[in-house]
Amino acid sequence: MEIVIAHDYEEMSKISAGLIAAQIRKKHDSVLGLATGDTPSGTYKELVRLHKEEGLDFSKIKSFNLDEYIGLAPLHPNSYNYFMQENLFKHINTVPANEFVPQGNTDDPEEFCAWYEQKILEAGGIDLQVLGIGRNGHIAFNEPGSSLASRTRVKALAQKTIEDNSRFFESIDQVPRFVITMGVGTILDARKILLVANGKKKAEACAKFIEGPVTSQVTASALQLHPFVTVVLDEEAASALQRKEYYNWIRDHKQLVQKKIGR
């Protein structure tokens, strides 16, 4: 796991957008896994800038979003479909038919989940999966106790997540209790993974998943089992890490490290 500690949210967003842009430039028809939330919105803003000012071309990419609330139609302002349209898709040149976000108002969520997994397979699998992390250590909506082998399915949200996400709704009672989410196993199938996190409120979860044991109680810790994970944190999110000096030394000597390990 490569840990990159940025000074602040802006730098974190620039670094993570740079990694996504590098993936797209290397493989024009990359399949991206995308996340929603406050964390990646700065990254998406920077991707929009790269598209508008530097011509970053999204016309051949496919994207699959991690999750969606059950019961919210795609045009609902609190849906993740809507978030993706507003924060990214409508500002860049992705092809709508290639923008996959789980459908929260499907009649048959279980069948939908199987279809979604199939679509990811047919696309050739995800090249780069972008993730945020919840205060309880979740990735996507894989709440504590989720199987580390889980696939896309329906999940009930944990109380902590409902409280965290209530800031987007008029009242906490309006937060949907159920979601469609990619599983931990689905996420681990991606060829590369990029997790972004910022703010003091994420410090404990970051320390646990980066330096603690692999456990279904902190589903992000499953990323320790994946060979190509980059974590980009701001200083606040990194504040509880024990080995900060080591990560910073590697970041500051990257060229030397790349030469030694041949990457």
Q: Which residues bind ligand PGA (CB under 6 A)?
A: 37-39, 132-134
Catalytic option among 81, 98, 138, 198: 138
In 3-state terms the chain splits into helix, strand, coil percentages (rounded to 5) of 45, 15, 40
Among 81, 87, 98, 136, the active-site one is 136
CB of 260 to ligand PGA, least distance (A): 34
Q: Which of 46, 68, 99, 143 is catalytic?
A: 143
Q: Find the shortest distance in angstroms from Cβ 204 to ligand PGA.
A: 13
Least Cα distance to 211 among 247, 249, 181 occurs for 247
Least distance (Å) between residue 151 CB and ligand PGA: 18
Output phi, psi for 245, to 5 deg.
-60, -40
The reply to whether 143 belongs to the active site is: yes
Q: Provide the 3-class DSSP secondary structure of residue 136.
A: coil
Query: Where are any strands of DSSP class E within the chain?
Result: 2-6, 31-34, 62-65, 67-69, 99-100, 128-131, 153-156, 178-181, 192-197, 229-234
Rank residues 13 and 39 by Cβ distance to ligand PGA and give the closer one.
39
- Smallest gap from Cβ 168 to ligand PGA, in A, equals 9
- The CB-nearest residue to ligand PGA is 37
Residues with Cβ within 8 Å of residue 204, at least 6 apart in sequence: 135, 240
Nearer to ligand PGA, 8 or 110 (CB): 8
Annotation marks residue 67 as catalytic? yes
Residue closer to ligand PGA by CB (options 132, 176) is: 132
Q: Looking at beta carbons only, is 37 or 176 nearer to ligand PGA?
A: 37
Contact call for residues 155 and 181 (beta carbons, < 8 A): yes
Q: Give the catalytic positions in this structure.
A: 67, 136, 138, 143
